[in-house]
């Protein structure tokens, strides 16, 4: 079984359980935080993949570290430890987010700008571009990139909408040279 198939199965089970318990938003929020912690802390991953630590100690650590997390997530992590699938955590989270976004009519978007966007700007971008991808709204991650010089660049899935000044200048330069 490929890793993506395993991740998808766990994500579907997690998603269905969260929906059944009416805790989808809580689980989603906690999974976003877990992803940040898991990807940002190499030592944590090494600790849980270490053969020196027994399964019981790993489970105890999960309960201690993620005390405030939704019990659904804690139980999922305990199952992943038991099944030796902790290496799938990020893939499971990504699959879960895709399922959750589809259920809510939301798309993930990265918006690159020269400064932090205001809530009003985020809302207008969400309104305009969500229609382009057939969704109700966008969940925007704003990335400040001064190299754009002005304007914005939006990435939604594999689509890119680029109205940045740097891109326009590059096009002008190519046209003048060519």
| CATH number reported for the structural domain that contains residue 88 in this entry | 1.10.520.20
Q: Are residues 8 and 95 in the same domain?
A: yes
The closest of 116, 117, 154, 109 to 136, measured between CA atoms, is 109
Could you report how far apart the first and last alpha carbons of the chain are, in Å? 51
Q: Are residues 116 and 151 in the same domain?
A: yes
Q: Are residues 7 and 83 in the same domain?
A: yes
| pLDDT tens across the length of the chain (178 residues) | 446 899 999 999 999 999 999 999 999 999 999 999 999 988 888 888 888 889 999 999 999 989 999 999 999 999 999 999 988 999 999 999 999 999 999 999 999 999 999 999 999 999 999 999 999 999 999 999 999 999 999 999 899 999 999 999 999 999 999 7
* pTM for the predicted model, two decimal places: 0.80
Structure-block tokens of residue 106: 């939301």
For the chain, what percentages of helix, strand and coil (3-state, to nearest 5) are there? 65, 15, 20
132 lies in which domain range?
A: 105-177
- Which burial class, exposed, middle or buried, applies to 67 when counting CB atoms under 10 A from its CB (0-12, 13-18, 19+)? exposed
Q: Are residues 20 and 79 in the same domain?
A: yes
Q: Are residues 89 and 120 in the same domain?
A: no
Q: Are residues 54 and 26 in the same domain?
A: yes
């Amino acid at each position: 079984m490929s890793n993506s198939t395993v991740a998808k199965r766990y994500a579907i089970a997690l998603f269905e359980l969260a929906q059944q318990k009416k805790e989808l938003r809580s689980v989603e929020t906690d999974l976003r935080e877990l992803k940040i912690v898991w990807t940002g802390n190499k030592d944590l991953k090494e600790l849980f993949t270490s053969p020196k630590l027994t399964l019981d100690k790993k489970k105890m650590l999960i309960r201690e570290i993620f005390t405030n997390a939704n019990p659904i997530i804690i139980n999922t992590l305990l199952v992943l430890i038991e099944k030796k699938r902790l290496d799938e955590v990020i893939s499971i989270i990504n699959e879960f987010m895709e399922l959750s976004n589809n259920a809510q009519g939301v798309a993930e978007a990265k918006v690159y700008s020269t400064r932090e966007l205001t809530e009003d700007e985020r809302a207008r971008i969400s309104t305009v571009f969500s229609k382009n991808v057939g969704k109700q709204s966008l969940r925007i991650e704003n990335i400040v990139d001064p190299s754009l010089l002005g304007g914005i660049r939006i990435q939604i899935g594999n689509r890119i909408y680029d109205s940045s000044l740097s891109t326009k200048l590059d096009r002008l330069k190519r046209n003048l040279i060519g």
